[in-house]
Amino acid sequence: MRHVISLLLENESGALSRVSGLFSARGYNIESLTVAPTEDASLSRMTIVTSGSDDIIEQITKQLNKLIDVVKVVDISEAAHIERELMLVKVRATGKDREEMKRMADIFRGRIIDVSESSYVIELTGTQDKLDSFVGAIDSALILETVRSGVCGVGRGDRVLKI
C-alpha cells in the first residue's frame, strides 16, 4: 500500500542523510522525498511517499521516530489529506505541435512559463496521478525534459502537524 509520511525534523546538516540512510539501510521503498525549511527556521518538513505492508509502514514510522533529529512523524495518508506535486515539462513545440501543446496544457490547467522558437516549458501542479496522465497524454517523442518536485502533503481540516 502507498503511504504519505510527513515529518518535522531539526533543520541541521546531516538530518536528511539520517532519514535517507535509514530507508536504504533497511530496504524500505522511497517513491519520492521532498524537504524544505518551514516558517520556523529551526525545522524542516519532509514528505516521503513510500509503499509497503502495514507491518513495514509501522516499522518505518517507528524507526523514523527513533532518529534523534526527527521531531514528529505522521502518516497523513491514514486520513483525509491533500497531495500536490509540481512538474515542469520542456516539450518540443514546432509547427502544428505548438498549438496542440498549448491546448493540452490548458486542458490540464497547466501554464506555459517559458517559450522559445522550438519549445515550451509547461508548469503543472496536481496529484501524482494528474501529472502522470498529462505525461501520458502528450506525444512522448515531444518531451525534452521533465522535472518533478515529489509529493507535498497536508492533512485536511483541523489536523495539524506542528510542535
Q: Which is nearer to other proteins, 48 or 105 (CB)?
A: 48
16 neighbors 89 (Cβ within 8 angstroms): no
According to CB under 8 A, which one of 40, 58, 99, 145 is a site residue for other proteins?
A: 58
Selection from 73, 65, 59 nearest residue 26 by Cα: 59
Assess 62 for contact with other proteins (CB under 8 A): yes
According to CB under 8 A, which one of 29, 32, 59, 127 is a site residue for other proteins?
A: 59
According to CB under 8 A, which one of 18, 92, 130, 148 is a site residue for other proteins?
A: 18
145 neighbors 100 (Cβ within 8 angstroms): no
Assess 40 for contact with other proteins (CB under 8 A): no
Assess 37 for contact with other proteins (CB under 8 A): no
Assess 99 for contact with other proteins (CB under 8 A): no
Q: Which is nearer to other proteins, 66 or 111 (CB)?
A: 66
Contacts of 155 (CB under 8 A, 6+ apart): 74, 76, 79, 80, 81, 82, 161
According to CB under 8 A, which one of 49, 71, 121, 152 is a site residue for other proteins?
A: 71
Write down the least CB distance from residue 62 to other proteins, Å.
4
Q: Quick check: helix, strand or coil at residue 67? A: coil
Assess 78 for contact with other proteins (CB under 8 A): no
148 neighbors 84 (Cβ within 8 angstroms): no
C-alpha cell at 152: 507535498
